[in-house]
Amino acid sequence: MKEKMHIIKSIVPGSIAEELEIRPGDKLLRVNDHEIKDVFDYHYAVNDEYLVLLIQKPDGEEWELEIEKEIEEDLGIEFEEGLMDSYRSCRNKCMFCFIDQMPPGMRETLYFKDDDARLSFLQGNYITLTNMIDEDIERIIFYKLSPINISVHTMNKELRCKMLNNRFAGEALDKIKKLYDAGIVMNGQIVLCKGVNDGEELERSIHDLAVYIPHMQSVSVVPVGLTKYRDGLVPLDKFEKEDALGVISIIHKWQNILLGAYGTRFIHGSDEFYLTAELPLPDSENYEGYLQIENGVGMVRSLMEEFKEYYETLSGDDRKHTLSLATGVLAAPIITDLVNKIYNKYPNIQVNVYTIVNEFFGTNITVAGLLTGGDITKQLEGKDLGEHLLLPQALLRDGEDILLDDYTVGDMENTLQTKIRIVQSDGKSLIDAILN
C-alpha cells in the first residue's frame, strides 16, 4: 500500500518547524517511524519530548529530522487537509435528511453529507454511528475523544432502520454502550418526525437512553425541517401547535422523572417547539449549562438573559440614529420585544425590525440561519433601512462571507445600498450593534 503523505499548507513563524526549514509544500511521511493516519494520530505522536520526523521535499528528497522539545509543545505545522484525511460521508438515506430537500444548482459542498466521528469531536457535528467499524470506536476510546454527538432519533432498532433507510442502523445503537462502558461523554439528538418517532416512541427512546446517564449527558429533541423540495421523498407533516404541546408535555414529564432519579433533566426540547406551542421558554437553569445551544436548545433563553444582564448596566442617553434588523419568522417576535426595551433608555434610536419569509426553501422553514441573500434583498428592497442593516451571524458558514444561495454580504450591500453589520447571537452583541 502506498505510504500516506500529508501536504504542509503553512508554517507558524518562529516555530520549531520554521527553525528546521520545513516549508509549505513539503510532505510529512512519518513520525517516530509510524505512519500518520489523521490529525489525532499526528497530535498524539508529536506530544513526545523526542521526535523523528520524515519529511519529503518537493524534489523528492527525504529529510529525517530529530527534534527535542517540551512535552505537548507544538511544532507549528498546518496541513492542507484539516483532518489530515478525507472526510467520511453518510451512507444513509434518512427520511428527514435536509440535504435531500435542497434544490439543484447550489454549490457542491452544500450537498456533502458528513458522518465523521472526528468532526463530531472537533466541530460538534452529529453522527449516526452507522459509518463506523470497530476500529473507529476503539480509536475514539484510545484517544478519549469527548464529547461525541450522536444522532439517535429512536431507540427502536427496527424503526431506526426504516428512518435511516439502512438495514444496519439498528445494530449501530449497540456502539453507544461501548462508548458508555469506556467513559466517553456523549450528547444525543432526536430529530422528531410527526407520526413516526414521536408519542410512545419518543417516550421509549428517552427511557432507553437514560440508562447511559451520566456519560450520555444530554439529549435534544428537535423538529424535522421540511422544505418545499420533497418530491419523491417520504411524506412528512410539520408540527402544529397542538403537536408541539404534546411533545413538550412528554419532555417535561421525563425531565421531572429523571431529575429525581439522576439529578439531571437530561432531555430537552428545542426552542422551536416552545415557540410553536406558544409556551414560555424554560428558565436558564432548566438548560443545565446549555449543552446543546448550537442545536437550537436554549438559544433564545440565553439571548434574553444576556440581553437583560447587559441592558441593566446601561444608563441610557439621547443619542439618535435609525437602523434596521432582519431575522426569520420564528425569532422575529422575540427580537421585536428586546428591541422595544431599548427605547425605554434610548428613545431617539429607531430600529426597524423586518421579518423575512423563507421563499427559497419554503415557508415551513422559519429559522434565521436558513435565510438566503436572495430572499433578504428581495423583501427589503425599497424599505427604510436607516444607516445600516443588522443580520445574524447564523446566516454565514464557517467564517465565510457567503450565504446558502451564494450571495455575499457585499452583494447584498450593493443591491440594498446600505452597510450591513453581522451580529453575533448573544445579547450583548445585539445591544452594542443597536447602540452603534
Q: What percent of the chain has pLDDT over 70?
A: 97
Cα–Cα distances in Å, from 388 out to 14, 185, 317? 41, 44, 20
Confidence at residue 119, expressed as pLDDT on a 0 to 100 scale: 67
- The sign of the torsion formed by the CA atoms of 289, 292, 297, 299 equals positive
How far is the C-alpha of 193 from the C-alpha of 208, rounded, in Å?
A: 19
- The model carries a pTM of 0.86
Cα–Cα distances in Å, from 149 out to 106, 278, 291, 384? 27, 29, 11, 43
Domains, the chain, ranges and CATH? 6-79 (2.30.42.10), 99-295 (3.80.30.10), 304-435 (3.40.50)
pLDDT in tens, 195-250: 999 999 999 999 999 999 999 999 999 999 999 999 999 999 999 999 999 999 99
CB 329 within 8 A of CB 322: no
Tell me how far the alpha carbon of residue 275 is from its chain's centroid: 20
How far is the C-alpha of 106 from the C-alpha of 260, rounded, in Å?
A: 49
Confidence at residue 136, expressed as pLDDT on a 0 to 100 scale: 86
What is the full per-residue pLDDT of the chain (436 aa) written as tens digits? 466 889 999 999 999 999 999 999 999 999 999 898 888 888 888 888 999 999 999 999 999 999 999 887 889 999 988 777 777 778 889 999 988 998 888 887 777 777 666 766 666 788 899 988 888 899 889 988 889 999 999 999 999 999 999 999 999 999 999 999 999 999 999 999 999 999 999 999 999 999 999 999 999 999 999 999 999 999 999 999 999 999 999 999 999 999 999 999 999 999 999 999 999 999 999 999 999 998 999 999 999 999 999 999 999 999 999 999 999 999 999 999 999 999 999 999 999 999 999 999 999 999 999 999 999 999 999 999 999 999 999 898 766 789 999 999 999 999 999 999 999 989 999 999 999 8
